[in-house]
Amino acid sequence: MSKTEITKIGVIGAGTWGTTLANLLAEKGLSTDLWVREEEVYTQIREERINKMFLPGRPLVSSLSPVKTFEEAICDKELVVIVVPSHVFREMLQNMRPYLRPGMGLISATKGIENNSLKMMSQVVEEVLPKEYMDSLACLAGPSFAKEVIIKQPTAVTIACRDHSYGERLQRLFSTQSFRVYVSNDLVGVQLCGALKNVIAIAAGAADGLGFGLNVRAALITRGLAEITRLGVAMGANPMTFAGLSGVGDLVLTCTGDLSRNRTVGLKIGQGIGLEEITKGMNMVAEGIKTSISAYELARKMNVDMPITNQVYEVLYRGKDPRSAVKELMTRGLKRELEN
């Protein structure tokens, strides 16, 4: 990526998180264009300075510019931030490709694993774009509900990339008095954390929906972290990443926070509501629903024991009763807590 100062940024995706990040950057005085898919949202942001569909009641800075085309969002930019659901990430990247150029910075703020390929977003970028783009690719993750960031509640996140000096530039770019950014070089670990915590959050929500207490929630978070770490280490991640903001930080937030879409899905599952009915009533994506398929298959592929993830998959896609899933987790063979 060029060493010149980053002043022009395109954000792809005007959902809750994409709009929030774009607004944060525009508030810092950076020229920021936000690509919007929905005509209604585009009009709202342009004319009323609000995104009623995803961030109702939260005014957006006047300098934030909504745009309709990838050409407008990308062509003259030094940095592009991609904030779209994981199941459309590849398609969106392919559509963006004609307007991208080597040396342009790319940040993925998407938390998921592609279903068919079992690839993280950085691996999708590696497949779709030439190799030179990987040097300027970064991923942003960490405990960050958009609805708290937009009102400047103190938040800390992690940006991961291969080049530390590039990471430091992005760190300075995104940091504000209320949004603190740390740097990591563990692209694999940070992305796995961001994706897999959503699966564990569905389990935690289901336990709450079943009426279980705080003991089981704490157990699910802790043992969920253990199985996420096992898979991460098997895939070459730094085990310390899972003790950081993108790991235990995001996991705790997503498993306990009322703003968590994935916990809400689990809560309704535990209350006996079917997955089809749940998804019909949602206007935002709960990444854990699709990621549970990828996580289940990835665990089998890597021969890693992930019992909580397996039970979430069984409940969501094979009709297993949540109470039976809890019973199986509690009656598994006894073992050591810590592994070598």
161 and 264 together in one domain = no
Q: Is residue 336 part of a domain?
A: no
150 and 20 together in one domain = yes
Provide the mean pLDDT of the chain.
96
User: How many CB atoms sit inside 10 A of residue 234's CB?
Assistant: 14
Q: Is residue 272 part of a domain?
A: yes
Q: What is the mean pLDDT of residues 190-199?
A: 98
Task: Supply the pLDDT for residue 289.
Answer: 97
77-121 per-position pLDDT tens digit: 999 999 999 999 999 999 999 999 988 999 999 999 999 999 999
68 and 172 together in one domain = yes
Look at residues 185, 203, 237 and tell me which one is the last residue of a structural domain: 185
pLDDT range class, residue 285, cuts 50, 70, 90 = confident
18 and 152 together in one domain = yes
Q: Is residue 309 part of a domain?
A: yes
The sign of the CA dihedral 86, 120, 220, 326 is positive
The three-state (H, E, C) secondary structure of the chain, written as one string: CCCCCCCEEEEECCCHHHHHHHHHHHHCCCEEEEECCCHHHHHHHHHHCCECCCECCCCCCCCCEEECCHHHHHCCCCEEEECCCHHHHHHHHHHHHHHCCCCCEEEECCCCECCCCCCEHHHHHHHHCCHHHHHHEEEEECCCCHHHHCCCCCEEEEEEECCHHHHHHHHHHHCCCCEEEEEECCHHHHHHHHHHHHHHHHHHHHHHHCCCCHHHHHHHHHHHHHHHHHHHHHCCCCHHHHHCHHHHHHHHHHHHCCCCHHHHHHHHHHCCCCHHHHHHCCCCCCHHHHHHHHHHHHHHHHCCCCHHHHHHHHHHHCCCCHHHHHHHHHCCCCCCCCCC
For residue 22, the enclosing domain spans: 8-185
Q: What is the mean pLDDT of residues 174-199?
A: 98
Q: What is the CATH number of the domain that holds 166?
A: 3.40.50.720
pLDDT range class, residue 318, cuts 50, 70, 90 = very high
284 and 314 together in one domain = yes
Residue 197 falls in the annotated catalytic set: yes
Domain count of the fold of the chain: 2
Options 77, 111, 119, 197, the catalytic residue: 197
163 and 284 together in one domain = no
19-55 per-position pLDDT tens digit: 999 999 999 999 999 999 999 999 999 999 999 999 9
Q: Tokens standing for 153?
A: 């509640």
Residues in Cβ contact with 85 at an 8 Å cutoff, skipping those fewer than 6 apart: 110, 112, 285, 287
pLDDT range class, residue 230, cuts 50, 70, 90 = very high
Q: CA 327 from chain center: how many Å?
A: 30
Q: Is residue 339 part of a domain?
A: no
In single-letter form, the type of residue at position 8 comes to K
Q: What is the CATH number of the domain that holds 247?
A: 1.10.1040.10
Look at residues 151, 170, 185 and tell me which one is the last residue of a structural domain: 185
For tokens 């935690």, what's the residue?
A: 204
256 and 287 together in one domain = yes
pLDDT exceeds 90 at position 4:
no
pLDDT exceeds 90 at position 1:
no
153 and 243 together in one domain = no
228 and 315 together in one domain = yes
117 and 230 together in one domain = no
Look at residues 132, 167, 185 and tell me which one is the last residue of a structural domain: 185
177 and 198 together in one domain = no
Q: Is residue 3 part of a domain?
A: no
129-162 per-position pLDDT tens digit: 999 898 899 999 999 999 999 999 999 999 999 9
- pTM (predicted TM-score): 0.96
